[in-house]
């Protein structure tokens, strides 16, 4: 059973963005699976690193769509992205230094943030574009 199941409400109707969101869900599910299977710190660290890297790629791409559409809340949306990246990067650094372990609290944060962001801010952008 997946930690996060993809729901129709996550779809934005923007094909590449939906595919990227699905990839983010897959990576969080992979992280959950690695934790449940008590994988090594190296394996878990690699998944966290991949999640951080892919998140930055996705945010950059999503922001390009918003810029092309002259989305008036782009800066606000970008700040949400930047805050999330900073949080994940900080966590990754602390994990790599052995200061924190992967926990269900971290996974819940990732899940809650992603779902809230997709169903909130991202859907607001879609509503604006569909006007």
Domain edges within the chain: 17-130
Q: What is the dihedral of CA 49, 54, 57, 63, to 10 degrees?
A: -120
Q: Are 14 and 118 in contact (CB under 8 A)?
A: no
Q: Please list the ranges in the chain whose pLDDT falls under 70.
A: none
Please tell me the predicted confidence (pLDDT) of residue 46: 94
> Are 71 and 125 within 8 A, CB to CB?
yes
Report the predicted TM-score, pTM, of the whole model to 2 decimal places.
Answer: 0.93
Question: What is the CATH code for 17-130?
Answer: 1.20.120.50
Q: What is the pLDDT of residue 65?
A: 95
Residue with structure tokens 């994990």? 95
Distance CA 86, CA 89 (A): 5
């Amino acid at each position: 059973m997946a930690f996060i199941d993809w729901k129709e409400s996550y779809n934005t109707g923007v094909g590449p963005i939906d595919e990227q969101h699905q990839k983010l869900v897959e990576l969080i599910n992979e992280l959950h699976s690695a934790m449940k299977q008590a994988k090594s710190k190296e394996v878990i660290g690699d998944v966290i690193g991949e999640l951080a890297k892919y998140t930055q790629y996705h945010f950059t791409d999503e922001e390009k769509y918003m810029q092309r559409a002259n989305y008036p809340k782009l800066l606000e949306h970008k700040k949400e992205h930047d805050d999330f990246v900073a949080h994940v990067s900080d966590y990754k650094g602390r994990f790599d230094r052995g200061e924190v372990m992967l926990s269900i609290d971290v996974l819940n944060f990732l899940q809650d943030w992603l779902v809230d962001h997709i169903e909130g801010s991202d859907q607001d952008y879609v509503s604006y574009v569909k006007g």
